[in-house]
Structure 1
């Protein structure tokens, strides 16, 4: 007999429906699988056999042929197990239901027949809704799928449980749908940062306009602490942003079981030994990298000169485009990568160049070589560069409470709200997204500010990219001040963050 069911495959973060055809016929016992399955899919024959037998069913001693269509799409992963096992039982008459066109089954089987959590449940659930299918998923993944509205979901815990539901012997439970609730991210508190008024102001500007930020200062000045406090002053993510973020983490199996959707902005801080593919995404089977895992959140590169030069240079495209395209023979995988980049570095190898308290041991040539590890084109993509000074003893021992993250977040949220009202339906969420004609229209400078920026272009040697980034930062500073016109004071402050004479 022949049984036809549906499951789903992932290429990058994009799901595609897979037709699972199971034919059980007379002949020498065999279990053949066609349709470009990879090794993890081919191994399902042993999991399926053991799961069927340990669930109390008889595995047929016949010729079994599994076809995964379309045959020109590589099938990867273990989430086809449930559909294959149900297909075998349907083809042998154990499952009496004959019609499966409206169902999509997803899940990995244990040897005892239990269904394990599956990767990519959220993108598959979105595809099931688009195709008006009923989704069967493991109980542990139900909360993740439940955040997709207008989708019929059935929760199953084992192969035997699934057979009973399909044979109408019992009713499958449906997940409890809870409203989305954003959560405050874990991390630092702004009130714990002593001194560093300029750096904290830069953090506020970066959060308000989603501008890239570079801290330069000696060891122990608080660069890492300030970077880790940034998620706490970002506005809470909306539902659509949370779904985008969760889709990426779901594909990699990083969504905690029973948690569902990620209610806080991600903060990623990879080690400096990371490879190109791990940072940007890719591999033989395209997978999202750290820049995509930081989508809608913060990517922090501590001690950025210690990263491999070629690894850093691959950041240029996602910084500008907000996405990563990985080309492979099977197709092009596109990963979203709209993140706020924060980096920290010492002024030299020993860390004390320009320090009044410690003597720098580096020669001028060593300082130039150390700073040269961060290329000019990449440095030019930082909107804000802040020279972080050591915290004075009076500030360290003082008891004056600083502003809390909540205080700063309130101002940031107000500035973001102004941007949202200003851009409306335009494809710009923040000032950092402005390009071309939209940049000229929304970042028009008053006369004094325009003359000031013209002089700065000549004296500082600003590139065209640097010129545009100053205008975007000035627009954000004006938003924080509640002003509709970008004036000379806003331009002057924005120029103050172009340190080292960057071009």
Structure 2
């Protein structure tokens, strides 16, 4: 007797359909799983055996073979437990075969038959919808999967409920989407005393998704400024929220099925490995750059990261995607993030202060900042020196625009860019523009062009630097509600790139 059920195998955020075939035939009693399973999948037979025993279902004294097709594709994860149990129950004629074949299932079984939530329910629902199948999953994963409107999602609490559903004694209710979560604990930009230039740079970076680096002495407010960036960024659009949630679903970071409209803010420690930052490990899981997709990747103590880790950022920063290539997996992840870095000017941190600097100044500063290669530094649109805050400024009451006011200006600038790139697939912000599109949207007036050419010649701007100045100037003009890039816009964009470069 042979029966089939269906599930998925994950390749990054893509879910590929897998047919779970079960054959019960005469022979030496055995229960084997074939089709390139990993250890977790191979151990499913013991969990399935125990779950069925808890329902007073004894396996026959026959040879049971489960094949995961296509057999040459690696199968990883405990979510194969439920589809293996379904195909076995269908082969034993306990539940109808045709009903099982119309369902895509995933879920881990505990020894008593309880269904345990698994990762990847959202991309699994996308795959099930594309094949016109319903998705059967643990009840705790149903809220996440139910965000896919085109798919009927059924959540069950145990294998016993699943059997009752397929035999007509219980009707599983379709799962409802989880709530849309908004982060109410965002920090206010008004808390930062002084640092008006750095606040302005933060606003420009948020408006155009420009990469930004803060360089300043310890305690000057670099991390404090970066921590307030989520409060001025616009919420994720529905498409961006789905893209980001797909990655977080595979990584197991979606809490109780809720999808957040707040942009991700990831801040890995400088001891993080290359696999943690870029992606890798078992199954080529997404790294911090992909978890920060459509959001912010904040790297504090930037020069302290291993040189190899920093250099691997160069390609993802440019292309917005990364290929995690391993011996047994080649997975592509989206990683369109805003890179915000913070660094001390030297190892001791007090290079600008002659009274507190170490005896190796200024050589220590050159050596320390030399850990950031020229090609990587060239990818930062905004390079800001953050000076120490005077003590008398700390006693002053909070002043300047708060996060709500700045966020409104950023949202208005982003709305302009949305309309501008409506007919350009893959372009969402000024930082994405290149080639002919950049020439169309960022052509300066005569005075601005003259200033840019003279600055490029005098300071030796690279071609990348030249185009990044144009993108930044376009964003400044959008914040100024100007259709044309004028000389003041280019002058401000150049000041953020050139002055800090000379000083550091």
Could you say whether these structures have the same fold, taking a TM-score greater than 0.5 normalized by the shorter chain as the test? yes
C-alpha deviation, 1:152, in angstroms? 1.1
> 1:186–1:232: 8 Å Cα contact kept in structure 2?
no
Q: Tell me, yes or no, if the aligned pair for 2:266 and 2:296 is still in contact at 8 Å.
A: yes
Q: CA shift at 1:332, angstroms?
A: 2.9
In structure 2, the partner of 1:204 is 203
Report Cα offsets for 1:440-487 as digits up to 9, x if no partner: 111001000000011111111111111110100000000000000000
Task: Determine the C-alpha separation between the residues in 2 that align with 1:442 and 1:357.
Answer: 48
Q: Matched residues in 2 for 1:22 and 1:186: separation?
A: 51
Determine helix, strand or coil for the equivalent of 1:201: helix
What SS does the aligned partner of 2:67 have?
A: strand
Q: Distance in 2 between matches of 1:221 and 1:357?
A: 17
Which residue in the other structure is 1:22 paired with?
22
**Superimposed CA distance per residue, residues 273-299 of structure 1 (whole angstroms, 9 cap, x where no aligned partner):** 111111111235211110000001100
Shift of 1:186: 4.1
Deviations 1:173-230 (A, max 9, x none): 112246x746246442101111100000000000000000000000001100110110
Q: Are 1:115 and 2:115 counterparts?
A: yes
Question: Does the 8 Å CA contact 2:469/2:493 hold for their aligned counterparts?
Answer: yes
**Alignment counterpart, residue 354 of structure 1, candidates 342, 352, 355:** 352
Deviates more, 1:124-133 or 1:399-408: 399-408
Match in the other structure for 1:72: 72
2:36–2:75: 8 Å Cα contact kept in structure 1?
A: yes
Query: Which residue pairs with 1:432 in the alignment?
Result: 431
Q: How does 1:70-469 map to 2 (within 5 A)?
A: 70-177=70-177, 181=180, 183-184=182-183, 186-256=185-255, 258-330=256-328, 332-355=330-353, 358-427=356-425, 428-469=427-468
For the structure 1 residues 339 and 186, does the alpha-carbon distance in structure 2 shift closer, same or farther, using more than 3 Å as the test? Answer: farther
Alpha-carbon deviations, 1:394-414, whole Å to 9, x = none? 220011433211111000000
For the Cα contact (< 8 Å) 2:144–2:177, is it kept in 1?
no
Cα distance between partner residues in 1 of 2:115 and 2:72:
28
8 A contact 2:41–2:78 mirrored in 1: yes
Contact 1:79-1:107 at 8 Å conserved across structures: yes
Alpha-carbon offset, residue 101 of structure 1: 2.6
- Separation in 2 of the partners of 1:157 and 1:169? 15
Q: Structure 2 CA distance, aligned partners of 1:458 and 1:185? A: 47
Deviation >6 Å, runs of 4+: none
Asked if 2 retains the 8 angstrom alpha-carbon contact of 1:350 and 1:361, the reply is: no
Residue 9 of structure 1 and its aligned partner are, at CA, apart by 0.5
CA contact (8 A) 2:33 2:65 kept: yes
CA distance in 2, matches of 1:260, 1:359: 49
Q: Structure 1-normalised TM-score?
A: 0.97
Q: Which residue number corresponds to residue 36 of structure 1?
A: 36
Residue correspondence of structure 1 range 469-480 to structure 2 within 5 A = 469-480=468-479
Distance 1:359 1:28 in 2: 79
Q: Give the whole-Å Cα distance in 1 for the aligned partners of 2:199 and 2:207.
A: 12
- Checking the alignment, whether the CA contact within 8 Å between 2:284 and 2:329 is kept in structure 1 is no
CA shift, 1:32, in A, is: 1.0
Contact 2:265–2:295 (Cα < 8 Å) also in 1: yes
Determine if contact 2:180/2:259 at 8 Å carries over to the other structure.
no
Structure-1 separation of matches of 2:484 and 2:67: 63
Contact 2:417 2:428 survives alignment (8 Å): yes
Two-structure CA RMSD over aligned residues (Å) = 1.6
Kindly state the Cα deviation for residue 439 of structure 1 after the two structures are TM-superposed.
Answer: 0.7
User: What's the TM-score once normalised by structure 2's chain length?
Assistant: 0.96
Q: Quick one: structure 1 residues 218 and 442, their matched pair in 2 at CA, closer, same or farther if it must change by over 3 Å?
A: same
Distance 1:217 1:145, change over 3 A: same
